[in-house]
Amino acid sequence: MKPALAYAAADGTFAATWLLLAFPAVGAAILLLGGRRANRWGPVLACLAAGAAFVLGLVLFAAMLGRAGDDRAISQHLFSWIPVNGFQVDAGLLLDPLSMCFVLLVTGVGTLIHIYALGYMAHDPNRRRFFGYLNLFVVAMLLLVLGNNFLALYVGWEGVGLASYLLIGFWSARPSAATAAKKAFIVNRVGDVGLSIAIMLMFATLGTTSYAGVLGGIGALGANSGTVTAIALLLLLGACGKSAQFPLQSWLLDAMEGPTPVSALIHAATMVTAGVYLIARSAPIFNLTSDGRLLVTIVGAVTLAIGAIIGCAYDDIKKVLASSTMSQIGYMFLAVGLGPAAYAIGILHLLTHGFFKATMFLGAGSVMHGMNDTVDMRRYGGLRTVMPITFWTFAMGYLAIIGFPGWAGFFSKDKIIEAAFDKGGTSGWVLGTVALIGAGVTAFYMTRLMIMTFFGERRWDPDAHPHESPAVMTGPMIVLALGSVISGFALTFGGGLQQFLEPVVGRSAEEGIHTISPTVLTLITLLVVAGGAAAAYRQYGTQAVPRTAPQAVSPVTVAARRNLYGDAVNESLLMRPGQYLTRALVFVDGRGVDGVVNGLAAGIGGSSGRLRHAQTGFVRSYALSMFGGAALVLAVLLLGRLG
Amino acid sequence: MTVTSPVGTDFPWLFVVGGLPLLGAVVVAALPRGRDVLAKRTALVVALLTLMATIAMGAAFDPGRGGGQQMTFQFGRSYAWITNFGIRFAVGVDGIALVLIALATILVPVVILASWHAAEEGRRSTKTFFALVLVLETMMIGVFAATDVFLFYVFFEAMLIPMYFLIGSYGGPRRSYAAVKFLLYSLLGGLLMLASVIGLYVVSGQQLPGGGTFDFATLATLHISPGVEKWLFLGFFIAFAIKAPLFPFHTWLPDAGAEAPTGGAVLLVGVLDKVGTFGFIRYCIPLFPNASRYFAPVVLTLAVIGIFYGAFLAMGQRDLKRFVSYTSVAHFGFIGMGVFALTSQGQAGSVLYMVNHGLSTGALFFVVGFLIDRRRTRLAAEYGGVGSVAPMMAGVFLVVALATLSLPGLSTFVSEFLVLVGTFTRYRALAIVATVGIILAALYILLVYQRTMTGPVTAGNERLRDLNAREAWVVAPLVALMFVLGVYPKPVLDVITPAVNATLAQVKAHDPQPTSGVPAAAAPASVPTVAPAAVTAGTVTAGTVDGSSK
Amino acid sequence: MTPAYYLFLSAILFTIGVLGFLLRRNAIVVFMCVELMLNSVNLSLVTFARMNGTLDGQIMAFFVMVVAAAEVVVGLAIIVSIFRTRRSASVDDANLLKY
């Protein structure tokens, strides 16, 4: 089968692509195997490894810009990984504009967060292990975005799941952390099942798992054919698991048990957006199935709404940010589900979100650092003056996420809302309206967070002595805040990102065919956002915030506080029946399957116990039985003779 | 036909590899009483020498011989043994047998090192323990190397004897129950197999001019009538299903695995059980191709049931060693599934799975055994927060746990994915159901990891020792192999694949072609590429194996 | 005189022997009943030999006699030693060899 996609060979600068993985891999290996000797210099080494990968990424980026637009996909063959007759999987890397975006995001934001963690984790006795895990995550994430076939992607996919598991459960002495880590891994595995079945289906129908073969050959199956839709839906299942989308969203809130730099890097900026990457990477598949795309948009819209609603109810600052992440990834799913028109917009939002959400998470970490690791926003208040840098950087992230004109989110989120309306038809209106209302709710909960944390009266615990964080933490925050301000403008300047991604995801929609004029829509969006912010100000800015959460609240708030009963559903539908089934099967195995065997043994033993009583010890009775036996044999012989 | 007889041109590596441990066992047994340390060292040296000989044999092995069409045995030797019945002492290896012999010879030195102090509380002397392990090694090598069906049967049964004594003399509190149960189960299966072996001899006597034979290569050329073939197949199959063990023949394993000394359990689950799955692929399928195809749906169903059954039961166990045993039941489900999917990916995956499972479950048994050595209890609830006091132990446990749940990057993933993808190309619904099993694998192993290694330190564990140097050396090679084979399994796959191809050529089974890979005109839309959910088990079995040879 | 009479006699003797073996308790008597059965068989063997005009049966009878003699030696010794230890020659008292 000849692939319709051809990739350039990795020569020149690009021969070093594999080093992107090697730097952090070596770092992780040294840190995790190095033992106590590495305690002192290990964390710095980890930062250097991530930094080296970032620098290399920049070099490769420059080299990529030097090539022609349709010659920017470079494939590097490393070695033959799993060769069995028709099933030939190579270990190989693919560096194209799409993966380039992720490489820079992962290594860039990753390096900053490594540095931040130097300060944040300074007093943790196990920080060498922590940094080892962080480097491991960078390797896995890079493998995920750089693999040149779906199985390599799957390796990275599960690898980031592992890193996430290790880092959520980093403070494993806390049972809640261990449980949250396990939950994250298991829920991710549910998605992974979808992804792996999708890969099997690709192999069974196309005989290959490489991007070149699958994405190039998928057209042979025909648009909207059953197989294409099946592959798309299975990929979507995988994406939902990794990106915490409905119905597999429940793990992300619990994942906040991990150290805050982890929440910033893995559960906000990079790993959870892997689902978006998967769908964008599989664009040729999704382009062929309108049902698949529709479902992606529905999943995105539903999660967007769920995340936004939940975000309004939590008092835990990290959980508010986590539900906001869910919601924002919902926007990205909505965008990539719209098809070729909006892939680039989705990726744009992914990148800007990477900046502003990381900014805010690091800000939250800085606040927690100063407040004895309290996460309850009702114990904050008035931190604006004691933590000026944190406040200002956080404010940049805040303005970016609500889409304040000029800030990053304004360029990406508004575009998504616009694209949703432009989809046309009833579904376009519904999706657009959901996205629009979501923007308002986002403004509401983020304003609430800002007010409760940085404004109003000081509701601190008596032993809290908030202080600004050290420079090693504020430095990365400032850089990321800068990104939150300018990234949106910089990436869209002259259609930059869209043109850059065009060879991979296709051309965006033509300008000029709009359901609602962009200017009008922008104004409407701004109005909705302002309304959300004003509502939050009226409720939290003008009246005192109680230190304990009020109990007399509407049923909606109760439901939102309980994660819209997502966990309750999981527990009653999956966990409880699973436990009963386990107990029942243990019983069946012991009493049933093994019981049959042991029963047989007992039966033989019992009957032989009864039979042996025939051995009375009286010679005469033996003799009688012999006589009887002889007579019987004789009789049978005689009868046989006669008969 | 497509099977060539053993040729005797190579250096007799098999006699060296198989004979060394037996010789060592005699030496160890003959050492004077009280020289325990000497006995241990001798055993270790012998085991290491055997390993080196195996490596040399592997280097001399030529995987390409036979071209993937003929079942070819190398290093073959054949001597007359019981001439009246045409029984010969014939040995030889193909790629499948070679990797399994390699697995056995890798695990034995590790087991010896791990069992350094295991025999001290047994009912028999220390040197007997090590002599038994070495005898067992010879038997294991013999059973994989035999190319005479009767000789295979002899090794198959003889293997039980050292294992019986290892469990019965050095095991836990309920060792006699476990040992007898193990023995009776295996003997029952062995008897059924003996009946089939004799049946094969009779059939061969009817068909061959020179009288009956037990020579595998000749038996593989017989044309057995369908009814007889099914019965003979069942005799072999049940013996192997008990040995493997496949659901519902598994209940001896948790008892034996839990009561056996750790080293014994590793050899039991790591190698002995592989004889069952090895038997499927070496004996059931080539000797009874039609019956194999006939029974494949049944076996596959049992295998998939086993995957889930083992997983759920593993979750319900409170005893750590029983837990490990039940995880193996689930894994053997995967192996059985790959073998009977009758695709090259499935079978190559299964053979690789056998090796990987030996490594990962072996390591898991070792780590659990180290824990039990320290606390003298097998109950998972007694352990908690071990990670805080013994980080190295927790780290190794985690790596091994990840191998058990087949994390990509570790060797088990390669084999599991091959099995699944190999099954998927022919039996979609089954493969999809089995894939769901990987969620359960994550669940049961992480549950146990969480209970034992994380959380606050429970009472009694505060002063738990971390791994010492000997223990670290026990797990280090296994963990290293998991990583190496996970990243670069090609050398092993290159050995396995030609042998698997030859086996499948014997059954005339061909890998299904990609349903759309052929030119679009030749592959109309009616080719079953419908959504997987629509493919029911019934329709899948209808179009099973491409019976026509090309 | 027909050989059948010898066979009838042999059958009667054998039956007497069997009944004596089954009903009597004294070990010596039981033992003698065994001998009686052996000899009744001997009688029928000889009779058949005579009827068929061959020597096979007679040779067989000699074998039986030899076995019987050996049996007497061993059996009597056992009975005597049992009697010495238990002061009883009743076969019902020696029933230790049971379940």
Summarised one tens digit per residue, pLDDT across range A255-271 is 888 888 888 888 888 88
Quote the mean pLDDT of chain B.
Answer: 86
Do A and C touch, counting CB pairs below 8 Å (3 needed)?
A: yes
Chains that touch A (3 or more CB pairs under 8 A): B, C
**Which class for A218: exposed (0-12), middle (13-18), buried (19 or more C-beta within 10 A)?**
buried
The answer to the question of residue B459 being in a domain is yes
Name the domain count of chain B. Answer: 1
Name chain A contacts of C18, Cβ cutoff 8 Å: 627
* Mutation for A interface: B96, B421, B448, B457, most A CBs within 10 A: B421
pLDDT band for A511, please (50, 70, 90 cuts): low
Q: Which of residues 388-417 of B touch A (CB under 8 A)?
A: 388, 395, 402, 407-409, 413-414, 417
Any bridge partners for residue A76, and if so which?
A93
- Partners of A157 on chain B (C-beta within 8 Å) are 408
In this predicted structure, what is the pLDDT of residue A152? 92
C89 touches chain A (CB under 8 A): no
Report the residue from C22, C91, C98 with minimal CB separation from A615: C98
Of B281, B259, B463, residue with least CA distance to B369:
B259
What order of strands is seen across the sheet that includes strand A8-9? A8-9, A74-84, A87-95
A226 touches chain B (CB under 8 A): yes
Q: Is residue B112 part of a domain?
A: no
How far A39 CA sits from the closest chain B CA (Å)? Answer: 15
Q: What is the mean pLDDT of residues B144-172?
A: 92
Tell me, yes or no, whether B535 lies in a domain.
yes
Summarised one tens digit per residue, pLDDT across range B78-120 is: 888 888 888 999 999 999 999 999 999 999 999 999 988 887 8
Q: pLDDT at position A467, please?
A: 83
Mean pLDDT on B407-411: 91
Average pLDDT over residues B352-369: 93
Domain assignment present for residue B98? The answer is no
**Helices of type H across B425-549:** 428-453, 469-487, 490-507, 537-542
Contact of A189 with A182, CB cutoff 8 Å: no
Q: Three-class SS of residue A444?
A: helix
Q: Is pLDDT above 80 for A516?
A: no
pLDDT at position A70 over 80: no
Statement: residue B347 has pLDDT above 90? yes
List the single residue in C with minimal CA-CA distance to A628. C18
Confidence at B2, pLDDT banded by 50, 70, 90: very low
Q: Which residues of B touch A183 (CB under 8 A)?
A: none
Beta-strand relationship, A74-84 and A8-9: parallel
Is it the case that residue A246 has pLDDT exceeding 60?
yes
Residue A572 neighbours by CB under 8 Å, 6+ apart: none
Residue B270 falls inside a structural domain: no
- Provide the shortest C-alpha distance from residue A615 to chain C (in Å): 5
Confidence of residue B541 (pLDDT cuts 50, 70, 90): very low
CA distances to A404, B125, B475 from B109, in Å: 68, 19, 12
Cβ of B511 under 8 Å from any chain A Cβ?
yes
pLDDT at A206 > cutoff 70 = yes
DSSP conformation letters of A149-210: BHHHHHHHHHHHHHHHHHHHTSSTTSHHHHHHHHHHHHHHHHHHHHHHHHHHHHHHHHS--B
The interface residues of chain A toward chain B in range 153-212, judged by CB-CB distance below 8 A, are: 154-155, 157-159, 162, 165, 169, 172-175, 177-179, 182, 185-186, 189-190, 192-193, 196-197, 199-201, 203-208
User: Which residue of B344, B446, B531 is in closest CB contact with A85?
Assistant: B344
Chains that touch C (3 or more CB pairs under 8 A): A
Give ipTM to 2 decimals: 0.89
CB contact under 8 A, A615 and C22: no
Phi/psi of residue A149, nearest 5 degrees: -150, 165
pLDDT average, residue stretch A437-463: 87
- Block residue for tokens 């992720």: A102
Q: Is C96 on the interface with A (CB under 8 A)?
A: yes
Tell me, what DSSP letter sits at residue B215? B
B residues 55-84 lying closer than 8 A (beta carbon) to A: none
Q: Is C36 on the interface with A (CB under 8 A)?
A: no
Category of C84 on φ-ψ map: left (φ > 0), alpha (ψ -120 to 50) or beta: alpha
B390 in any annotated domain: yes
Is position B302 within any domain? yes
CB atoms within 10 A of CB A640: 8
Rounded to whole angstroms, the Cα distance separating A98 from A280 reads: 8
Question: pLDDT (tens digit, 9 = 90+) per residue, B176-230?
Answer: 889 998 998 899 999 999 999 999 999 998 888 878 888 888 888 888 899 999 9
Q: How far apart are CA A592 and CA A586, in angstroms?
A: 9
Residues of chain C with C-beta less than 8 angstroms from the C-beta of A624: 22
pLDDT: which is higher, A492 or A294: A294
Over range B391-411, report the average pLDDT: 91
Instruction: Say if CB B263 and CB B111 are below 8 A apart.
Output: yes
According to DSSP, the residues that pair with A376 across neighbouring strands are A316
Task: Give the three-state DSSP class for A583.
Answer: helix
Q: What is the pLDDT of residue A508?
A: 63
**Residue B481 located in a structural domain:** yes
pTM, whole model, 2 decimals? 0.87
DSSP letters, A36-86, are GGGGTTHHHHHHHHHHHHHHHHHHHHHHHHTS-GGG--EEEEEEEEEEETT
Predicted pLDDT of residue A254: 87
C interface test, pick of A619, A625, A634 with most C CB neighbours within 10 Å: A619
Task: Read off the pLDDT of residues A466-485 as tens digits, 9 standing for 90 and up.
Answer: 888 888 888 989 999 998 88
Q: Print the domain residue range for B489.
A: 295-514+529-550
